[in-house]
Amino acid sequence: MASTRTSERGRALDERAPLRVRLAPPLRVTSGLKARPGRDALRNLERRAQDTRPHRRQCGPNRFTTRRDQVVSGRLAGKVCVVTGAAGGIGAASASLFASEGARVVGVDLLEHSVGQLSLQADVANEQSVAGLYRRAREELGRVDVLFNNAGISPPEDASVLDTSLEAWERVQTVNLRSVFLCCKHGIPHLLDAGGGSVINTASFVALLGAATSQISYTASKGGVLALSRELGVEFARRGVRVNALCPGPVDTPLLRELFAQDPAQSARRLVHVPMGRFARAEEIAQAALFLASDDSSYVNATAFVVDGGITGAYTTP
Ligand SMILES: NC(=O)c1ccc[n+]([C@@H]2O[C@H](COP(=O)([O-])OP(=O)(O)OC[C@H]3O[C@@H](n4cnc5c(N)ncnc54)[C@H](O)[C@@H]3O)[C@@H](O)[C@H]2O)c1
């Protein structure tokens, strides 16, 4: 149930042992896991790769076709990508897509079974855990090229400034903003060692627009992610590290479903502002993350990369 998941996640955060690194053994996401969209996609891609491997032929740098004439582009071939929040939603969809584009993916989450060649269970708001997970990624896979700092929460206790407790404010700031600071602080040195790389920090369209259906700490945390990303993009530009903030509009993931399950009227109130008349799918945001992770975006830096179905461009909607 959606509300149970919120409270479970809350307990997990509140009761975690301080400064404890919880690193799961390497996990290949091939079998024995519950059916979930991201994992199924990865499994299908792995099967497809096995089916077609003997028949593929090169047709340009990092490109090949299969006997079934499916084009697989390998846009992340040779890269090691660390994706946080990879057990669900945007993170899992991105980890699957990155793997299908040739990356070796380290999936990180508070929960078990992140999508990735290496699946690590860690709290990204904990400094020791964060430093440890990049060390482990480097030890196991040799390098780190892409950081997708995507884990985040949006609990219902975070609402109007008049109703939000200091505790709720701080919990959201800790998970959404401190974690991005820590992942950049401990991840970027590995990118510099590799000669450069790409950092994608998940912000949100609410970093750019005010909402009367307020989640004051969430909005402030995403504004912080946006400003932090811009500054890092400028600081590291001449050392080969690009940093961008990804700003999705509302996406149909457990995070949003949890929030709207409490109040369907709130869901309807938001949907009316989306020109396309629907929320995004996690896979659509993953495509944007792929672009920012790959060398296709080699001159995209320090931006607010908005993928919102036109929300920020709209005055009235159809
Ligand atoms: N869903 C939306 O509408 C939407 C819109 C804009 C931005 N975002 C942002 O996108 C990102 C991903 O959101 P989603 O919609 O996929 O949510 P989700 O709840 O489906 O996934 C978030 C993942 O982060 C993990 N996580 C939470 N706290 C963690 C911690 N301390 N350490 C490690 N992992 C942790 C969760 O376990 C979960 O698997 C978030 O930063 C969110 O704020 C979401």
Q: List pLDDT tens digits, range 259-317.
A: 777 778 877 888 899 999 999 999 999 999 999 999 999 999 999 999 999 999 999 99
Residue 134 annotated among the catalytic residues of the structure: no
Q: Where are the domains of the chain?
A: 2-310
Write the pLDDT tens digit of every residue in 205-228.
Answer: 999 999 998 999 999 999 999 999
Q: Residue 92 pLDDT > 80, yes or no?
A: yes
Which whole number is the average pLDDT over 165-194?
A: 98
C-beta separation of 84 from 183 below 8 A: yes
Reported as a single tens digit per residue, the pLDDT across 11-37 is 333 333 332 333 334 333 333 233 344
Average predicted confidence (pLDDT) for the chain: 83
Residue of 15, 90, 134 to mutate, ligand 1, most atoms within 8 A of C-beta: 90
Say how many Å lie between the CA of residue 63 and the centre of ligand 1. Answer: 32
Per-residue pLDDT at 72:
62
Question: Among 253, 258, 292, 308, which residue has the most ligand 1 atoms within 8 Å of its CB, making it the best to mutate?
Answer: 253
Q: pLDDT > 90: what percent of the chain?
A: 71
Given this structure, which CATH class describes domain 2-310?
A: alpha beta
CA of 242 to the centre of ligand 1 (A): 22
Query: What does the pLDDT look like over 181-201, one tens digit per residue?
Result: 999 999 999 999 999 999 999
The lowest-confidence range among 73-77, 95-99, 233-237, 256-260 is 256-260
Q: Which atom of ligand 1 is nearest to the CA of 124?
A: 32
Q: Which two tokens stand for residue 284?
A: 């659509």
